[in-house]
Structure 1
Amino acid sequence: MADFLPTRSVLKVCLPVCLLNGGEVDQLRKSKEIDRCLSREKTYVKRLVKILLLGAGESGKSTFLKQMRIIHGQDFDHQAQEDFRATIYSNVIKGIRVLVDAREKLHIPWGDTDNQKHGDSVMAFDTRSAKMAIGQLETSVFLRYLPAIKALWADSGIQYAYDRRREFQLVGDTLM
């Protein structure tokens, strides 16, 4: 006699659906789909690793994240590459300015006295411009200063100042 009766699990699923109208059945289906999505998302979030990076400004927090992205094979899109290019240009200008200033303050003579004009040129660069303030320097502007930067970097006085960088703050000194 009990063989023809449905099991409890079948009754649990079939009976409520049989008593619902079409709209309620659709709502029940959507609810179950949402529950499945939430369950998948919960599993994903559990696997997610969260890191809190603390440190002073210019201590390398962003650099660490960029390196992790590269190591794990997530390429940067074209726009991100262009943004990084502008940031690198900005950092190079700021870095060479710091070196020129430090060379003077540490009373280090120029290796080539002709580089005084290049030093004056980069020191005259307005780092308070809107683009520079957010670390974005256009390629055309950077290229105007590139010959001066190359000449300064090749100068033995600037190299000696760079060797003494522990005596002053050189932001992003790993770029040079």
Structure 2
Amino acid sequence: MKGIDYTTFVDISSIIQDFWDDAAVKQTYEKRNLFQISDSCQYFFDHINRIAMPNFLPTNKDILYCRKATRGICEHTFEINKIPFRFIDVGGQRSQRQKWFQCFTDITSILFMVASNEYDQVILEDRRTNRVVESRSVFETIVNNRAFSNVSIILFMNKSDLLKEKVPKSDIRQYFSDFTGDHLSVRDVQFFLVDKFETSRKDRARPFFYHYTTAVDTENIRRVFVDVRDTILQQNLKSLMMQ
């Protein structure tokens, strides 16, 4: 925890647990779409006693639930099936977007992440704009940019697990009046959200992939591998046909 040593954290863990068990806190948390609250806080509150154990070591799942907003540009290189991959992670906040295009050269694919459960939430910057609407606007700008005419787009409609929890509680029709499906059907909501992004593409010939994912699903990277592999194959076939 930032600003507190682990010994102090262990000492106050029971207080944190009592806080989380408070009925008023639980009622407030049910309305979390009205606030800027991390999706992972429930996970850590639910595991507070385990985390406070003297011999605590974080599990892979603990690490996956840790989230810190990307600031600036981060580059990660690793191998998948003995093939080197270079991932460039750019911050999604409005203040970070001016830095994007300086690193969008010689890339094969753009992986665009959308938190599908945030259809009833607003962005931090102005506290008015719907988060999905904001994401679609950014997506439309990127996907129709001429600089990316040979780049495939991989759309991850992320946090599907949280979407399933939210759909019965939050009517999507209150936020998107053009929704005509069954508002209690997770599948209908997912199709609607993907269609919002898919229809913003002007060039239908460009490779486009989409997946419904969860933030802690380790299979996500395999999906990226398959999509990037298919993109490279399509590019090679196109080059051969032009020779």
Same fold (TM over 0.5): no
**More strand per residue: 1 or 2?**
2
**More helix per residue: 1 or 2?**
1
TM-score normalised over the length of structure 1: 0.29
